[in-house]
Chain A
Amino acid sequence: MSQNKTCFFINRRSPYGSSYAQEALDMAFALSAFEHKVSLIFMDDGVLQIMRDQDPSGIGMKNISPTFRAWQDYEIENIYVEKESLEIRGMKKSDLMIEVKIIEADQLGKLIGKQDFIFND
């Protein structure tokens, strides 16, 4: 059994309504630090996590979005966004703060079939 596993996060929650987004982020970084191969996709309300120009100062919360820029320094393998999730929210690729690969739900289905571990919430 190989030491390094492929770990895939399906981030489906909005950034400030709960702590799911922050916790998935912490976990992805931790796994990456232990040299597992981490990839992730933003799906459903998760696409809002990488919306540009977030400013939660008015609701007394910490801005989680700058952390996503730090991903360049970590070895996060691939960052995806599911196409339909963007479309039904009236969002475009230009609304996003980081470079991502936009994929269809069917491609996602194929992709998750290849992973050792999937974290979905």
Chain B
Amino acid sequence: MPMLHILNRSPNMRSSLQSCLRVIQKSDAIILIEDAVIAAKKDNHTEAFINNAMNVFVLEPDLKARGIQADQVIQGIELVDYKGFVKLTVKYNGVQTWS
């Protein structure tokens, strides 16, 4: 059953991102929100982990709040707005938050 994994903490303060990436299945998706959007920035030190993941989304209003522009986001990560976020929660069978 494909699941949506929600990450909301900075990848620099906790290991939630690494733990989540160890656990997720190929058909799952990840969405980065709140301070977790920092992980979506190009050249950040967790980029290599993210590059190995499939179906990664990031919440655009949280990126904009932090001054991270769309062209600074790692290639392959898809930007979504709040509506897109809601759609993802409907599309996947379950939702799991890694705080």
Interface residues of A (CB under 8 A from B): 14-17, 44-45, 48, 51-59, 61, 65, 88-91, 95
* Interface of A (DSSP majority class): loop
Known contacts A17-B10, A45-B35, A45-B38; is A88 also within 8 Å of B45 by CB? Answer: yes
Q: Shortest distance in angstroms between A108's beta carbon and chain B's nearest beta carbon?
A: 17
Residues of B within 8 A of A45 (CB): 10, 12-13, 35, 38
How many residues of B sit at the interface, in one of the four size bands? 20 to 34
Interface residues of B (CB under 8 A from A): 9-10, 12-13, 34-35, 38, 41-45, 47, 60-62, 64-69, 72
Q: Which of B38, B44, B62, B69 contacts A53 (CB 8 A)?
A: B69
Known contacts A51-B68, A53-B67; is A58 also within 8 Å of B38 by CB? Answer: no
